[in-house]
Amino acid sequence: MKLKFYILLFLFLGTTLFAAAQVKFTASVDKSEVGTTERFEITFTVNSSAEKFVPPSFDGFLVEAGPNVSQSMTVINGVSSGAIAYSYDLVAIKAGVFTIGPASIAVSGKTLKTQPIKIKVVKGTSTAQANAAARQQALQAQAQGADVVSGTRNINKDLYIRAEVNKTNVYIGEQLTLSYRIYTRVGLAGSQLEKMSDLNGFYSQEIKSISQTANWRIQVINGVRFNVAEIKQNVLFPEHAGNITIDPMIMDFIVRETVASKDPFDSFFGGVSYNDVKYKIKSLPVVIHVKPLPEAGKPASFGGAVGKFQISSTLDKTHVKANDPINYKIVVSGKGNLKLLKPVAPEFPADFEKYDPKVTDTIADAESGETGTRTYTYLLIPRHGGNFTIDPVKFAYYDLSAGKYVSTQTKGFDIKVDKSATENNVVSLGDADKQDVKLLNKDIRYIKTGDEADSLTKNGEGFYGSPTYYLLLLLGPLLFAGALVYGKWYEVSNSDIVKVKSRKAGKIAAKHLASANKQLQANNRVAFYENVFKGLYGYLSDKLNIAAADLNREKIASELKARNLDEPLINELLETLDLCDMARYAPVSGVSEQQMFDKAKNMINDIEDKI
Protein backbone atom coordinates (compact mmCIF):
# COMPACT_ATOMS: atom_id res chain seq x y z
CA MET A 1 0.00 0.00 0.00
CA LYS A 2 2.80 2.40 0.93
CA LEU A 3 4.68 1.50 -2.24
CA LYS A 4 1.61 2.32 -4.34
CA PHE A 5 1.27 5.71 -2.55
CA TYR A 6 4.92 6.61 -3.19
CA ILE A 7 4.62 5.65 -6.84
CA LEU A 8 1.55 7.88 -7.29
CA LEU A 9 3.26 10.71 -5.41
CA PHE A 10 6.34 10.34 -7.61
CA LEU A 11 4.24 10.42 -10.78
CA PHE A 12 2.29 13.48 -9.61
CA LEU A 13 5.43 15.43 -8.66
CA GLY A 14 7.12 14.39 -11.89
CA THR A 15 4.16 15.56 -13.95
CA THR A 16 4.02 18.88 -12.08
CA LEU A 17 7.75 19.48 -12.44
CA PHE A 18 7.62 18.56 -16.11
CA ALA A 19 4.74 20.99 -16.72
CA ALA A 20 6.58 23.72 -14.84
CA ALA A 21 9.72 23.05 -16.86
CA GLN A 22 7.77 23.61 -20.09
CA VAL A 23 6.86 27.20 -19.15
CA LYS A 24 9.38 29.59 -20.65
CA PHE A 25 9.70 33.35 -20.23
CA THR A 26 12.25 34.78 -22.66
CA ALA A 27 13.51 38.15 -23.89
CA SER A 28 14.74 38.87 -27.42
CA VAL A 29 15.81 41.87 -29.51
CA ASP A 30 15.79 42.36 -33.26
CA LYS A 31 19.23 44.06 -33.10
CA SER A 32 22.07 43.59 -30.60
CA GLU A 33 24.09 46.48 -32.02
CA VAL A 34 22.51 49.81 -32.95
CA GLY A 35 23.53 53.38 -33.65
CA THR A 36 22.52 56.40 -31.61
CA THR A 37 18.95 57.55 -32.39
CA GLU A 38 18.35 54.15 -34.07
CA ARG A 39 15.18 52.30 -33.12
CA PHE A 40 15.03 48.63 -32.18
CA GLU A 41 12.43 46.29 -30.68
CA ILE A 42 12.63 44.15 -27.56
CA THR A 43 10.05 41.40 -26.96
CA PHE A 44 9.25 39.46 -23.79
CA THR A 45 7.40 36.18 -24.51
CA VAL A 46 5.76 33.67 -22.11
CA ASN A 47 4.21 30.44 -23.42
CA SER A 48 1.54 30.18 -20.74
CA SER A 49 -1.24 32.13 -19.08
CA ALA A 50 0.43 34.69 -16.84
CA GLU A 51 -0.16 37.89 -14.90
CA LYS A 52 1.63 40.78 -13.19
CA PHE A 53 4.11 41.51 -15.99
CA VAL A 54 6.79 43.96 -14.79
CA PRO A 55 9.15 45.40 -17.46
CA PRO A 56 12.76 46.42 -16.76
CA SER A 57 13.72 50.07 -16.31
CA PHE A 58 15.26 50.50 -19.82
CA ASP A 59 17.96 52.82 -18.45
CA GLY A 60 19.92 54.46 -21.27
CA PHE A 61 17.11 54.11 -23.80
CA LEU A 62 14.04 56.11 -24.78
CA VAL A 63 10.78 54.14 -24.84
CA GLU A 64 9.12 55.26 -28.08
CA ALA A 65 6.17 52.81 -27.98
CA GLY A 66 4.90 49.98 -25.81
CA PRO A 67 3.93 47.76 -24.35
CA ASN A 68 2.35 46.28 -27.46
CA VAL A 69 0.62 43.13 -26.23
CA SER A 70 -0.14 40.29 -28.66
CA GLN A 71 -1.59 36.85 -28.00
CA SER A 72 -1.44 33.70 -30.12
CA MET A 73 -3.32 30.42 -29.74
CA THR A 74 -2.47 27.02 -31.27
CA VAL A 75 -4.67 23.90 -31.16
CA ILE A 76 -2.93 20.58 -31.94
CA ASN A 77 -4.59 17.18 -31.41
CA GLY A 78 -7.30 18.86 -29.36
CA VAL A 79 -4.72 20.38 -26.98
CA SER A 80 -4.53 24.16 -26.98
CA SER A 81 -1.48 26.20 -26.09
CA GLY A 82 -1.02 29.94 -26.06
CA ALA A 83 1.65 32.60 -25.79
CA ILE A 84 1.67 36.24 -24.75
CA ALA A 85 4.24 38.72 -26.07
CA TYR A 86 5.01 42.18 -24.67
CA SER A 87 7.04 44.32 -27.09
CA TYR A 88 8.60 47.78 -26.78
CA ASP A 89 10.13 50.10 -29.38
CA LEU A 90 13.32 51.59 -27.91
CA VAL A 91 15.67 54.29 -29.18
CA ALA A 92 19.35 54.40 -28.25
CA ILE A 93 20.33 57.79 -26.80
CA LYS A 94 24.09 57.63 -26.27
CA ALA A 95 26.99 55.38 -27.18
CA GLY A 96 28.19 52.59 -24.91
CA VAL A 97 27.38 49.05 -23.83
CA PHE A 98 24.11 48.85 -21.92
CA THR A 99 22.40 46.00 -20.12
CA ILE A 100 18.62 45.70 -20.20
CA GLY A 101 17.71 44.04 -16.92
CA PRO A 102 15.31 41.14 -16.45
CA ALA A 103 11.55 41.45 -16.75
CA SER A 104 9.34 39.45 -14.39
CA ILE A 105 5.96 37.76 -14.65
CA ALA A 106 3.81 35.50 -12.46
CA VAL A 107 2.81 32.03 -13.72
CA SER A 108 0.69 29.83 -11.41
CA GLY A 109 1.84 31.81 -8.39
CA LYS A 110 5.51 31.51 -9.31
CA THR A 111 7.60 34.51 -10.45
CA LEU A 112 9.67 34.01 -13.61
CA LYS A 113 12.40 36.33 -14.87
CA THR A 114 14.12 36.77 -18.23
CA GLN A 115 17.87 36.82 -18.76
CA PRO A 116 19.52 40.29 -19.04
CA ILE A 117 20.32 41.43 -22.59
CA LYS A 118 23.37 43.46 -23.62
CA ILE A 119 23.01 46.11 -26.33
CA LYS A 120 26.01 47.78 -27.95
CA VAL A 121 25.32 51.36 -29.01
CA VAL A 122 27.79 53.02 -31.38
CA LYS A 123 27.92 56.70 -32.20
CA GLY A 124 26.14 57.65 -35.42
CA THR A 125 25.45 54.44 -37.31
CA SER A 126 26.04 50.78 -36.43
CA THR A 127 28.82 48.57 -37.84
CA ALA A 128 29.53 48.00 -41.51
CA GLN A 129 28.00 44.56 -41.33
CA ALA A 130 24.75 45.99 -39.93
CA ASN A 131 24.82 48.68 -42.62
CA ALA A 132 25.24 46.06 -45.33
CA ALA A 133 22.33 44.07 -43.93
CA ALA A 134 20.22 47.22 -43.79
CA ARG A 135 21.10 48.06 -47.40
CA GLN A 136 20.20 44.53 -48.49
CA GLN A 137 16.87 44.76 -46.65
CA ALA A 138 16.17 48.16 -48.24
CA LEU A 139 16.90 46.74 -51.72
CA GLN A 140 14.55 43.83 -51.07
CA ALA A 141 11.87 46.19 -49.77
CA GLN A 142 12.31 48.52 -52.73
CA ALA A 143 11.75 45.64 -55.11
CA GLN A 144 8.44 44.93 -53.38
CA GLY A 145 7.58 48.48 -52.24
CA ALA A 146 7.61 47.78 -48.47
CA ASP A 147 9.85 47.69 -45.40
CA VAL A 148 9.15 45.21 -42.61
CA VAL A 149 9.98 46.66 -39.20
CA SER A 150 9.13 43.65 -37.06
CA GLY A 151 7.53 40.20 -37.26
CA THR A 152 8.31 36.52 -37.11
CA ARG A 153 8.94 35.88 -40.82
CA ASN A 154 9.98 37.65 -44.01
CA ILE A 155 6.58 39.13 -44.83
CA ASN A 156 7.69 41.82 -47.28
CA LYS A 157 6.86 39.73 -50.36
CA ASP A 158 3.30 39.14 -49.23
CA LEU A 159 2.32 42.37 -47.41
CA TYR A 160 3.50 45.93 -47.95
CA ILE A 161 2.39 49.58 -48.15
CA ARG A 162 3.20 51.87 -51.04
CA ALA A 163 3.18 55.65 -51.02
CA GLU A 164 2.46 56.53 -54.65
CA VAL A 165 2.44 60.00 -56.26
CA ASN A 166 1.21 60.93 -59.71
CA LYS A 167 4.37 63.00 -60.35
CA THR A 168 7.73 63.60 -58.66
CA ASN A 169 8.88 66.75 -60.52
CA VAL A 170 6.71 69.81 -59.85
CA TYR A 171 6.76 73.58 -59.44
CA ILE A 172 6.11 75.45 -56.19
CA GLY A 173 2.33 75.53 -55.75
CA GLU A 174 1.69 72.79 -58.35
CA GLN A 175 -0.71 70.17 -57.09
CA LEU A 176 0.12 66.48 -56.93
CA THR A 177 -1.77 63.49 -55.52
CA LEU A 178 -0.37 61.17 -52.86
CA SER A 179 -2.03 57.75 -52.43
CA TYR A 180 -1.30 55.11 -49.79
CA ARG A 181 -2.21 51.57 -50.83
CA ILE A 182 -2.04 48.15 -49.12
CA TYR A 183 -0.83 45.17 -51.16
CA THR A 184 -1.41 41.77 -49.51
CA ARG A 185 -1.48 38.06 -50.27
CA VAL A 186 -2.13 37.03 -46.65
CA GLY A 187 -5.21 37.07 -44.44
CA LEU A 188 -5.49 40.15 -42.21
CA ALA A 189 -7.25 39.89 -38.86
CA GLY A 190 -6.76 43.55 -37.96
CA SER A 191 -4.78 46.72 -38.60
CA GLN A 192 -3.96 49.97 -36.83
CA LEU A 193 -2.25 53.18 -37.96
CA GLU A 194 0.86 53.86 -35.85
CA LYS A 195 2.35 56.91 -37.59
CA MET A 196 1.11 59.01 -40.47
CA SER A 197 3.60 60.81 -42.72
CA ASP A 198 4.23 64.35 -41.45
CA LEU A 199 4.13 65.88 -44.98
CA ASN A 200 6.38 68.75 -43.89
CA GLY A 201 6.97 71.20 -46.73
CA PHE A 202 3.55 70.68 -48.27
CA TYR A 203 0.12 72.17 -47.88
CA SER A 204 -1.97 69.01 -47.58
CA GLN A 205 -5.69 68.43 -48.08
CA GLU A 206 -7.16 64.98 -47.48
CA ILE A 207 -9.51 63.61 -50.14
CA LYS A 208 -12.67 62.80 -48.18
CA SER A 209 -14.18 60.50 -50.79
CA ILE A 210 -12.02 57.58 -49.62
CA SER A 211 -14.30 55.18 -47.75
CA GLN A 212 -13.42 54.15 -44.20
CA THR A 213 -14.29 50.58 -45.22
CA ALA A 214 -11.55 49.17 -47.45
CA ASN A 215 -12.66 48.46 -51.03
CA TRP A 216 -10.44 45.60 -52.18
CA ARG A 217 -9.57 44.87 -55.78
CA ILE A 218 -7.33 42.31 -57.50
CA GLN A 219 -4.11 43.50 -59.13
CA VAL A 220 -1.49 41.31 -60.84
CA ILE A 221 2.12 42.42 -60.23
CA ASN A 222 4.90 40.52 -62.02
CA GLY A 223 2.52 37.61 -62.50
CA VAL A 224 1.48 37.51 -58.82
CA ARG A 225 -2.09 38.31 -57.71
CA PHE A 226 -2.44 40.80 -54.85
CA ASN A 227 -5.44 42.17 -52.98
CA VAL A 228 -5.11 45.96 -53.12
CA ALA A 229 -6.97 48.62 -51.13
CA GLU A 230 -6.71 52.39 -50.89
CA ILE A 231 -5.85 53.59 -47.35
CA LYS A 232 -5.66 57.34 -47.76
CA GLN A 233 -5.32 60.03 -50.43
CA ASN A 234 -4.09 63.62 -50.15
CA VAL A 235 -3.77 66.52 -52.54
CA LEU A 236 -0.38 68.18 -51.91
CA PHE A 237 1.00 71.59 -52.82
CA PRO A 238 4.76 72.09 -52.28
CA GLU A 239 5.53 75.29 -50.37
CA HIS A 240 9.22 75.77 -51.23
CA ALA A 241 11.78 74.72 -53.83
CA GLY A 242 14.22 71.83 -53.37
CA ASN A 243 13.97 68.12 -52.66
CA ILE A 244 11.15 67.41 -50.16
CA THR A 245 10.95 63.92 -48.66
CA ILE A 246 7.61 62.32 -47.78
CA ASP A 247 8.55 60.18 -44.78
CA PRO A 248 7.10 56.66 -44.29
CA MET A 249 3.66 55.73 -43.03
CA ILE A 250 3.83 53.00 -40.36
CA MET A 251 1.01 50.54 -39.68
CA ASP A 252 0.57 47.49 -37.44
CA PHE A 253 -1.06 44.45 -39.04
CA ILE A 254 -2.39 41.27 -37.43
CA VAL A 255 -1.72 38.44 -39.90
CA ARG A 256 -3.73 35.27 -39.39
CA GLU A 257 -1.52 32.30 -40.23
CA THR A 258 -2.85 28.75 -40.67
CA VAL A 259 -1.06 26.02 -38.72
CA ALA A 260 -1.76 22.48 -39.96
CA SER A 261 -2.36 19.78 -37.35
CA LYS A 262 0.30 17.06 -37.04
CA ASP A 263 -2.34 14.45 -36.22
CA PRO A 264 -3.17 12.53 -39.45
CA PHE A 265 -6.77 12.03 -38.33
CA ASP A 266 -7.20 15.80 -37.75
CA SER A 267 -5.62 16.50 -41.13
CA PHE A 268 -7.99 14.03 -42.78
CA PHE A 269 -11.01 15.82 -41.32
CA GLY A 270 -9.59 19.25 -42.16
CA GLY A 271 -8.39 20.08 -38.64
CA VAL A 272 -6.36 23.32 -38.64
CA SER A 273 -5.46 25.99 -36.12
CA TYR A 274 -4.69 29.68 -36.47
CA ASN A 275 -1.89 31.81 -35.18
CA ASP A 276 -2.28 35.62 -35.14
CA VAL A 277 1.07 37.38 -35.60
CA LYS A 278 1.69 41.11 -35.38
CA TYR A 279 3.80 42.83 -38.03
CA LYS A 280 4.89 46.45 -38.21
CA ILE A 281 4.99 47.62 -41.84
CA LYS A 282 6.18 50.94 -43.22
CA SER A 283 6.20 52.46 -46.67
CA LEU A 284 9.35 53.66 -48.40
CA PRO A 285 10.07 57.41 -48.34
CA VAL A 286 9.28 59.35 -51.52
CA VAL A 287 11.34 62.32 -52.74
CA ILE A 288 9.59 65.16 -54.60
CA HIS A 289 11.78 67.47 -56.70
CA VAL A 290 10.31 70.98 -56.47
CA LYS A 291 11.38 73.69 -58.96
CA PRO A 292 10.98 77.43 -58.39
CA LEU A 293 8.62 79.27 -60.71
CA PRO A 294 10.42 81.12 -63.52
CA GLU A 295 11.19 84.80 -62.99
CA ALA A 296 11.04 85.67 -66.68
CA GLY A 297 7.70 87.19 -67.58
CA LYS A 298 6.33 87.21 -64.02
CA PRO A 299 3.63 89.97 -63.82
CA ALA A 300 3.46 92.38 -60.88
CA SER A 301 -0.05 91.11 -60.12
CA PHE A 302 1.13 87.50 -59.67
CA GLY A 303 0.28 86.22 -56.16
CA GLY A 304 1.33 82.55 -56.33
CA ALA A 305 -1.62 81.05 -58.26
CA VAL A 306 -0.59 77.92 -60.18
CA GLY A 307 -3.03 76.10 -62.45
CA LYS A 308 -5.75 77.46 -64.71
CA PHE A 309 -8.15 80.17 -63.48
CA GLN A 310 -10.77 82.73 -64.46
CA ILE A 311 -11.71 85.88 -62.54
CA SER A 312 -14.94 87.91 -62.62
CA SER A 313 -16.64 90.62 -60.59
CA THR A 314 -20.20 91.80 -59.96
CA LEU A 315 -21.84 94.82 -58.32
CA ASP A 316 -25.38 94.57 -56.97
CA LYS A 317 -26.24 98.22 -57.87
CA THR A 318 -24.62 101.13 -59.70
CA HIS A 319 -27.00 103.95 -58.65
CA VAL A 320 -27.42 104.57 -54.90
CA LYS A 321 -27.80 107.30 -52.32
CA ALA A 322 -25.02 108.30 -49.97
CA ASN A 323 -24.73 105.94 -46.95
CA ASP A 324 -26.54 103.12 -48.79
CA PRO A 325 -24.60 99.81 -48.81
CA ILE A 326 -23.21 98.19 -51.97
CA ASN A 327 -22.10 94.54 -52.35
CA TYR A 328 -19.07 94.03 -54.59
CA LYS A 329 -18.01 90.42 -55.40
CA ILE A 330 -14.88 88.99 -56.97
CA VAL A 331 -14.99 85.31 -58.00
CA VAL A 332 -11.84 83.28 -58.80
CA SER A 333 -12.64 79.86 -60.34
CA GLY A 334 -10.67 77.07 -61.92
CA LYS A 335 -8.29 74.24 -61.07
CA GLY A 336 -5.17 74.62 -58.93
CA ASN A 337 -4.07 75.88 -55.53
CA LEU A 338 -7.30 77.78 -54.81
CA LYS A 339 -6.96 77.54 -51.01
CA LEU A 340 -3.48 79.10 -51.14
CA LEU A 341 -4.48 82.19 -53.12
CA LYS A 342 -3.43 85.50 -51.64
CA PRO A 343 -6.30 87.94 -51.06
CA VAL A 344 -7.09 90.11 -54.06
CA ALA A 345 -6.55 93.82 -53.46
CA PRO A 346 -9.04 95.99 -55.38
CA GLU A 347 -8.74 99.80 -55.24
CA PHE A 348 -11.87 101.63 -54.07
CA PRO A 349 -12.65 105.38 -54.18
CA ALA A 350 -11.48 107.33 -51.13
CA ASP A 351 -15.07 108.40 -50.38
CA PHE A 352 -16.09 104.75 -49.96
CA GLU A 353 -15.98 103.10 -46.57
CA LYS A 354 -14.97 99.45 -47.04
CA TYR A 355 -14.96 96.39 -44.78
CA ASP A 356 -12.79 93.27 -44.84
CA PRO A 357 -14.09 90.79 -47.40
CA LYS A 358 -16.08 87.68 -46.56
CA VAL A 359 -14.31 84.72 -48.20
CA THR A 360 -16.46 81.77 -49.34
CA ASP A 361 -14.96 78.58 -50.77
CA THR A 362 -16.78 76.06 -52.92
CA ILE A 363 -13.88 73.70 -53.59
CA ALA A 364 -13.86 69.97 -54.31
CA ASP A 365 -10.78 67.88 -53.42
CA ALA A 366 -10.44 64.95 -55.79
CA GLU A 367 -7.67 62.67 -57.07
CA SER A 368 -7.32 64.93 -60.10
CA GLY A 369 -6.75 67.97 -57.82
CA GLU A 370 -8.66 70.92 -56.38
CA THR A 371 -11.37 72.54 -58.48
CA GLY A 372 -14.03 75.10 -57.62
CA THR A 373 -14.39 78.77 -56.75
CA ARG A 374 -13.29 81.26 -54.14
CA THR A 375 -15.55 84.29 -53.67
CA TYR A 376 -14.55 87.60 -52.02
CA THR A 377 -17.55 89.72 -50.98
CA TYR A 378 -16.87 93.36 -50.03
CA LEU A 379 -19.35 95.64 -48.26
CA LEU A 380 -18.94 99.23 -49.49
CA ILE A 381 -20.67 102.39 -48.21
CA PRO A 382 -20.33 105.64 -50.21
CA ARG A 383 -20.39 108.59 -47.81
CA HIS A 384 -20.83 111.47 -50.29
CA GLY A 385 -22.64 112.10 -53.53
CA GLY A 386 -20.89 112.13 -56.90
CA ASN A 387 -19.77 109.92 -59.79
CA PHE A 388 -17.21 107.23 -58.89
CA THR A 389 -15.35 104.38 -60.59
CA ILE A 390 -14.21 100.99 -59.31
CA ASP A 391 -11.20 100.05 -61.45
CA PRO A 392 -10.70 96.53 -62.90
CA VAL A 393 -8.84 94.05 -60.66
CA LYS A 394 -5.77 92.45 -62.28
CA PHE A 395 -5.02 88.77 -61.65
CA ALA A 396 -2.15 86.60 -62.90
CA TYR A 397 -1.41 82.87 -62.65
CA TYR A 398 1.15 80.40 -63.95
CA ASP A 399 -0.41 78.12 -66.56
CA LEU A 400 1.29 74.70 -66.25
CA SER A 401 -0.03 73.37 -69.56
CA ALA A 402 1.19 76.45 -71.48
CA GLY A 403 4.36 76.87 -69.41
CA LYS A 404 3.90 80.62 -69.02
CA TYR A 405 2.27 83.34 -66.93
CA VAL A 406 -1.22 84.45 -67.93
CA SER A 407 -2.73 87.83 -66.95
CA THR A 408 -6.44 88.59 -66.82
CA GLN A 409 -8.70 91.13 -65.13
CA THR A 410 -12.26 91.88 -64.07
CA LYS A 411 -14.41 94.60 -65.58
CA GLY A 412 -14.67 98.06 -64.00
CA PHE A 413 -17.84 99.77 -62.75
CA ASP A 414 -19.18 103.34 -62.83
CA ILE A 415 -21.29 104.27 -59.80
CA LYS A 416 -23.57 107.27 -59.41
CA VAL A 417 -24.15 108.33 -55.79
CA ASP A 418 -26.94 110.81 -54.99
CA LYS A 419 -26.78 113.02 -51.94
CA SER A 420 -28.95 111.99 -48.99
CA ALA A 421 -30.56 113.97 -46.16
CA THR A 422 -28.02 112.58 -43.67
CA GLU A 423 -24.95 113.06 -45.85
CA ASN A 424 -23.59 116.08 -43.94
CA ASN A 425 -23.86 116.25 -40.18
CA VAL A 426 -24.51 120.04 -40.03
CA VAL A 427 -26.79 121.93 -37.66
CA SER A 428 -28.34 125.16 -39.02
CA LEU A 429 -29.36 127.64 -36.30
CA GLY A 430 -31.64 130.63 -37.04
CA ASP A 431 -33.73 132.87 -34.67
CA ALA A 432 -35.30 131.60 -31.47
CA ASP A 433 -38.15 130.14 -33.48
CA LYS A 434 -37.91 126.32 -33.14
CA GLN A 435 -38.86 125.94 -36.80
CA ASP A 436 -35.36 127.16 -37.65
CA VAL A 437 -33.80 124.18 -35.81
CA LYS A 438 -33.42 121.17 -38.13
CA LEU A 439 -33.72 117.56 -36.89
CA LEU A 440 -30.56 115.72 -37.87
CA ASN A 441 -30.59 111.92 -37.51
CA LYS A 442 -32.58 112.32 -34.24
CA ASP A 443 -29.40 113.50 -32.49
CA ILE A 444 -30.82 116.96 -31.53
CA ARG A 445 -34.38 117.48 -30.22
CA TYR A 446 -36.32 120.54 -29.08
CA ILE A 447 -36.35 121.48 -25.40
CA LYS A 448 -39.86 121.07 -24.05
CA THR A 449 -41.38 124.19 -22.49
CA GLY A 450 -44.77 125.28 -21.10
CA ASP A 451 -47.52 122.69 -21.25
CA GLU A 452 -45.15 120.15 -22.83
CA ALA A 453 -42.97 120.15 -19.72
CA ASP A 454 -45.92 119.05 -17.51
CA SER A 455 -45.70 115.57 -18.95
CA LEU A 456 -42.18 115.11 -17.56
CA THR A 457 -41.76 113.12 -14.34
CA LYS A 458 -40.65 115.06 -11.28
CA ASN A 459 -37.63 114.01 -9.24
CA GLY A 460 -38.49 111.13 -6.86
CA GLU A 461 -41.66 110.12 -8.66
CA GLY A 462 -40.01 107.75 -11.18
CA PHE A 463 -37.80 104.67 -10.79
CA TYR A 464 -35.09 106.48 -8.84
CA GLY A 465 -35.84 106.34 -5.08
CA SER A 466 -38.54 103.67 -5.49
CA PRO A 467 -38.55 100.34 -3.52
CA THR A 468 -37.54 98.49 -6.70
CA TYR A 469 -34.53 100.77 -7.04
CA TYR A 470 -33.31 99.98 -3.49
CA LEU A 471 -34.03 96.24 -3.95
CA LEU A 472 -31.87 96.10 -7.05
CA LEU A 473 -29.21 98.15 -5.30
CA LEU A 474 -29.11 95.55 -2.50
CA LEU A 475 -29.10 92.64 -4.97
CA GLY A 476 -25.61 93.45 -6.28
CA PRO A 477 -23.68 92.72 -3.02
CA LEU A 478 -25.81 89.60 -2.42
CA LEU A 479 -24.97 88.22 -5.86
CA PHE A 480 -21.28 89.02 -5.31
CA ALA A 481 -21.28 87.15 -1.97
CA GLY A 482 -23.07 84.20 -3.60
CA ALA A 483 -20.47 84.10 -6.39
CA LEU A 484 -17.66 83.99 -3.79
CA VAL A 485 -19.30 81.07 -1.95
CA TYR A 486 -19.91 79.16 -5.19
CA GLY A 487 -16.34 79.78 -6.37
CA LYS A 488 -14.93 78.42 -3.09
CA TRP A 489 -17.17 75.33 -3.31
CA TYR A 490 -16.21 74.72 -6.92
CA GLU A 491 -12.50 75.05 -6.11
CA VAL A 492 -12.72 72.54 -3.24
CA SER A 493 -14.84 70.02 -5.16
CA ASN A 494 -12.48 70.08 -8.17
CA SER A 495 -9.16 70.23 -6.35
CA ASP A 496 -8.80 66.43 -6.30
CA ILE A 497 -8.20 65.48 -9.95
CA VAL A 498 -8.59 61.77 -9.25
CA LYS A 499 -12.04 62.26 -7.74
CA VAL A 500 -13.05 64.56 -10.60
CA LYS A 501 -12.04 61.96 -13.21
CA SER A 502 -13.84 59.24 -11.26
CA ARG A 503 -16.95 61.40 -10.95
CA LYS A 504 -17.03 62.21 -14.66
CA ALA A 505 -16.12 58.68 -15.83
CA GLY A 506 -19.76 57.70 -16.33
CA LYS A 507 -20.51 60.74 -18.52
CA ILE A 508 -17.49 60.11 -20.75
CA ALA A 509 -18.42 56.43 -21.08
CA ALA A 510 -21.97 57.44 -21.97
CA LYS A 511 -20.63 59.47 -24.93
CA HIS A 512 -18.76 56.42 -26.27
CA LEU A 513 -21.83 54.23 -25.82
CA ALA A 514 -24.00 56.82 -27.58
CA SER A 515 -21.56 56.73 -30.50
CA ALA A 516 -21.64 52.91 -30.37
CA ASN A 517 -25.44 52.99 -30.54
CA LYS A 518 -25.26 55.12 -33.70
CA GLN A 519 -22.88 52.63 -35.28
CA LEU A 520 -25.22 49.82 -34.21
CA GLN A 521 -28.13 51.50 -35.98
CA ALA A 522 -25.93 51.99 -39.06
CA ASN A 523 -24.98 48.28 -38.95
CA ASN A 524 -21.26 49.19 -38.74
CA ARG A 525 -20.09 46.24 -36.66
CA VAL A 526 -16.34 47.04 -36.43
CA ALA A 527 -16.88 50.66 -35.39
CA PHE A 528 -19.57 49.53 -32.90
CA TYR A 529 -17.24 47.17 -31.04
CA GLU A 530 -14.44 49.75 -31.20
CA ASN A 531 -16.63 52.34 -29.43
CA VAL A 532 -17.87 49.85 -26.81
CA PHE A 533 -14.29 48.74 -26.14
CA LYS A 534 -13.07 52.36 -25.80
CA GLY A 535 -16.05 53.23 -23.62
CA LEU A 536 -15.40 50.40 -21.16
CA TYR A 537 -11.63 50.84 -21.02
CA GLY A 538 -11.86 54.64 -20.80
CA TYR A 539 -14.45 54.34 -18.04
CA LEU A 540 -12.34 51.89 -16.03
CA SER A 541 -9.20 54.02 -16.51
CA ASP A 542 -10.92 57.13 -15.10
CA LYS A 543 -12.98 55.34 -12.44
CA LEU A 544 -10.10 53.27 -11.04
CA ASN A 545 -7.41 55.94 -11.61
CA ILE A 546 -5.25 53.63 -13.72
CA ALA A 547 -3.20 54.98 -16.63
CA ALA A 548 -4.39 53.64 -19.97
CA ALA A 549 -0.96 52.11 -20.64
CA ASP A 550 -1.15 50.11 -17.37
CA LEU A 551 -4.71 48.90 -17.88
CA ASN A 552 -4.96 45.11 -18.21
CA ARG A 553 -7.27 42.30 -17.10
CA GLU A 554 -5.33 41.50 -13.95
CA LYS A 555 -5.10 45.14 -12.85
CA ILE A 556 -8.80 45.70 -13.49
CA ALA A 557 -9.80 42.57 -11.55
CA SER A 558 -7.58 43.36 -8.54
CA GLU A 559 -8.76 46.99 -8.33
CA LEU A 560 -12.44 46.01 -8.53
CA LYS A 561 -11.96 43.30 -5.88
CA ALA A 562 -10.31 45.89 -3.62
CA ARG A 563 -13.50 47.96 -3.97
CA ASN A 564 -15.65 44.99 -2.86
CA LEU A 565 -17.32 44.34 -6.20
CA ASP A 566 -19.05 40.98 -6.66
CA GLU A 567 -17.01 38.24 -8.31
CA PRO A 568 -19.72 37.43 -10.95
CA LEU A 569 -19.85 41.09 -12.02
CA ILE A 570 -16.05 41.24 -12.36
CA ASN A 571 -15.98 38.03 -14.42
CA GLU A 572 -18.79 39.26 -16.66
CA LEU A 573 -16.94 42.55 -17.21
CA LEU A 574 -13.69 40.77 -18.16
CA GLU A 575 -15.60 38.46 -20.50
CA THR A 576 -17.25 41.43 -22.20
CA LEU A 577 -13.88 43.18 -22.63
CA ASP A 578 -12.42 40.03 -24.22
CA LEU A 579 -15.40 39.67 -26.58
CA CYS A 580 -15.17 43.32 -27.65
CA ASP A 581 -11.43 43.02 -28.24
CA MET A 582 -11.88 39.90 -30.37
CA ALA A 583 -14.89 41.27 -32.27
CA ARG A 584 -12.84 44.24 -33.53
CA TYR A 585 -10.81 41.82 -35.66
CA ALA A 586 -13.08 38.83 -36.34
CA PRO A 587 -16.79 37.92 -36.00
CA VAL A 588 -17.91 36.44 -32.68
CA SER A 589 -20.80 34.05 -32.15
CA GLY A 590 -23.20 33.47 -29.29
CA VAL A 591 -23.97 37.12 -28.56
CA SER A 592 -25.57 39.85 -30.68
CA GLU A 593 -24.42 43.48 -30.92
CA GLN A 594 -27.57 44.62 -29.09
CA GLN A 595 -26.89 42.19 -26.24
CA MET A 596 -23.29 43.40 -26.07
CA PHE A 597 -24.45 47.01 -25.92
CA ASP A 598 -26.95 46.28 -23.15
CA LYS A 599 -24.35 44.33 -21.16
CA ALA A 600 -21.81 47.15 -21.35
CA LYS A 601 -24.41 49.75 -20.36
CA ASN A 602 -25.74 47.68 -17.43
CA MET A 603 -22.25 46.91 -16.13
CA ILE A 604 -21.28 50.59 -16.07
CA ASN A 605 -24.52 51.37 -14.21
CA ASP A 606 -23.84 48.56 -11.70
CA ILE A 607 -20.30 49.76 -11.06
CA GLU A 608 -21.53 53.36 -10.66
CA ASP A 609 -24.06 52.18 -8.06
CA LYS A 610 -21.46 50.28 -6.01
CA ILE A 611 -18.39 52.53 -6.21
Least reliable range by pLDDT among 8-17, 239-248, 454-463, 476-485: 8-17
Q: Region 155-167: what's the mean pLDDT?
A: 89
Q: Which domains does the chain have, with CATH numbers?
A: 25-126 (2.60.40.740), 143-292 (2.60.40), 317-418 (2.60.40.740), 497-610 (1.20.120)
Would the pLDDT of 493 be above 60? yes
Question: Residue 20: which pLDDT band, with cuts at 50, 70 and 90?
Answer: very low
* Tens digits of residue pLDDT in 406-419: 999 999 999 999 98
Would the pLDDT of 113 be above 80? yes
pLDDT at position 516 is 81
User: Residues of 507-530 as b/e, b for ≥16 C-beta within 10 angstroms?
Assistant: ebbeebbebbbebbeeebeebbbb
Residue 38 DSSP label: -
Q: Region 115-124: what's the mean pLDDT?
A: 87
Q: What's the start-to-end Cα distance of the chain, in Å?
A: 56
pLDDT at position 539 is 82
Would the pLDDT of 454 be above 90? no
Q: Region 437-451: what's the mean pLDDT?
A: 48
Q: Region 138-164: what's the mean pLDDT?
A: 62
How many angstroms from the chain centroid is the CA of residue 335? 28
CA nearest to 72, candidates 63, 81, 64: 81
Q: How many CB atoms lie within 10 A of CB 593?
A: 19
Q: 148-157, 263-272, 478-487 — which one is most confidently predicted on average?
A: 478-487
In angstroms, the Cα distances linking 234 to 94, 179, 202, 371 are: 37, 7, 11, 14
- Please give the sequence-ordered ranges of beta strands (E in DSSP) within 173-213, or none if there are none: 176-184, 188-195, 202-206
Q: Region 524-552: what's the mean pLDDT?
A: 78
* Tens digits of residue pLDDT in 504-529: 666 777 877 888 888 888 888 778 88
Q: What is the mean pLDDT of the chain?
A: 77
Helix (H) or strand (E) holding 127: none
